[in-house]
Amino acid sequence: MSTVQESIDVAVPVNTAYNQWTQFEDFPKFMDGVEEITQIDDRRSHWRTRVAGVSREFDTEIVDQVPDDHVAWRTTGGDTHQSGVVSFQMIDATHTRVMMAMDFEPDGLGEKVAGALGIVDRQVKGDLRRFKAFIEARGVESGGFRGRL
């Protein structure tokens, strides 16, 4: 099992950052390699990804969600085995720290090498930088889920 932990500060209020993160179908706009996410219900979504020429499909389930604080998930289907949490910490009224912690099980030699070389860490860091650019350019979220799961 490998673990990735990254964070970034964004210049939006905590509720704006959190609300945007709950819009899973927007992830392809800032997550490199995510082709499509289909929200099945409040807890479950189906992902299609393509990373380094490898296509995958899998389902995820929200296991814990508290508005303006965190969203935790795990995979439930497909050959990808991961879980993680994205946390949101208010820095001040207009700035938020977004922290990602993800555990994953590399599948095959290529993924094991990528994990060992820090490629996955760089991918997550890049996704967070693109999230920052996306939400700061918009200034407002495209929607939001305020339910607690």
Domains by residue range for the chain, with CATH: 2-22+62-138 (3.30.530.20)
Work out the average pLDDT over 43-70.
90
CB 9 within 8 A of CB 95: yes
For residue 43, give the 3-state DSSP assignment.
coil
Of residues 114 and 105, the one with the higher pLDDT is: 105
Q: Is the pLDDT of residue 68 over 70?
A: yes
With vertex at residue 51, the alpha carbon angle to CA 47 and CA 54, rounded to the nearest 5 degrees, is: 90
Confidence of residue 78 (pLDDT cuts 50, 70, 90): confident
Residue 107: predicted pLDDT: 67
- Among all chains, which residue has been given the structure tokens 């993800």? 102
Work out the average pLDDT over 107-122.
64
Confidence of residue 14 (pLDDT cuts 50, 70, 90): very high
Distance (Å, rounded) from C-alpha 24 to C-alpha 7? Answer: 19
Write out the H or E segment, with its range, that includes residue 18: helix 14-21
Percent of the chain past pLDDT 70, that is, above it, reads 89
